[in-house]
Amino acid sequence: MLAPIAGCSTLSPDLRAAAATQGRASAGVSLPSYPARCAQPVPHAAVKVGDQAIIDLKRERAQLDRANGDKAACAGFYASLRDELGK
Amino acid sequence: MPFLLALVPLRAVAAGVFGWAFADWRRITALCGVLAVVSAYVVGDVRGRHAEAAAWQARYDKLSHDFITAADAAKAAETKRQADIGSNVTKAFQDELAARDAADAKTRAELEKEIAAYQSKPGGACTIDAGAYRWLLDAKP
């Protein structure tokens, strides 16, 4: 009578898979903190009366380069996180 | 209702059997012997079923325990995996920022050199006066 369950002393592959699925589901998704740098605005270049306009424009473009670099890095951070968590 | 109706002939049969048995003490002894055998069989059967139920319960408890243990282990492993991923991705991001900031500082130094060289050249420079300054910064006069 007990023969059908005699082999159940350890988890069967199906039960083991179900336990793993339940464990992963109950773990939820835990994301790291969003980098503070990604939320910080990049300031404009300083401007003073008497500055040459072309030089202020040059400095402003350098600030824009920096802002674009931050934006790309933050996008990379998100993409890496999504790819790794999805594996 | 059918069960109650079935009791009527059963009662008649029981009355017949007991009437027959009580007519002679040997018959009573034989009847007691039969009842003892039947009782022993019933008790044995019940005990067997209890033992079987206990064995099933024990196996169920073990399976349940093993399942919960495996699920807890999977949860802990998943939590650790996510924490490791978060830590690694954040570290990679910080490293990239540090490298970029270092390169940016160098670029800025080069930019200031370029600006100094540009300013030293003669030529009509378009400078920002007070009106242009206010307009550029959206500042009120």
Q: Give the separation between CA B79 and CA B92, rounded to whole angstroms.
A: 20
In this structure, is residue B10 part of a structural domain? no
Interface of B with A in 29-58 (CB under 8 A): 52, 55-56
**Would you say residue A6 lies in a domain?**
no
Structural domain includes residue B25:
yes
Q: In this structure, is residue B107 part of a structural domain?
A: yes
Nearest to B67 among A15, A29, A80 (CB): A15
Q: Are B89 and A75 in contact (CB under 8 A)?
A: no
pTM over cut 0.90: no
- Residue A61 lies inside a defined structural domain of this protein: yes
What would the pLDDT profile of B101-126 be if each residue is shown by its tens digit?
Answer: 999 899 889 999 988 888 887 766 78
Q: Tell whether A77 is covered by a domain.
A: yes
ipTM rounded to 2 decimals:
0.81
Task: Calculate the CA B80 to chain-centre distance.
Answer: 15
Does residue A17 form part of some domain? Answer: no
User: Could you say which residues from 83 to 122 on chain B have a Cβ atom under 8 Å away from some Cβ of chain A?
Assistant: 83, 85-90, 92-94, 96-97, 100, 104, 107-108, 111, 114-115, 118-119
The tally of domains found in chain A comes to: 1
pLDDT tens per residue, range B6-54: 667 778 888 887 788 888 888 889 889 999 999 999 999 999 999 999 9
For residue B134, tell me if it sits in a domain: no
CB proximity A16 to B under 8 Å: yes
> What's the domain count of chain B?
1
Rounded-to-integer distance, Cα B130 and Cα B108, Å: 27
A73–B96: do the CB atoms touch at under 8 Å? Answer: yes
In a domain, B106, yes or no: yes
Query: Could you tell me the residue range of the domain that residue B46 belongs to?
Result: 20-117
Sign of the Cα pseudo-torsion (B71, B72, B77, B81, in order): positive
* Residue A66, domain extent: 34-87
Q: Is B56 a member of any domain?
A: yes
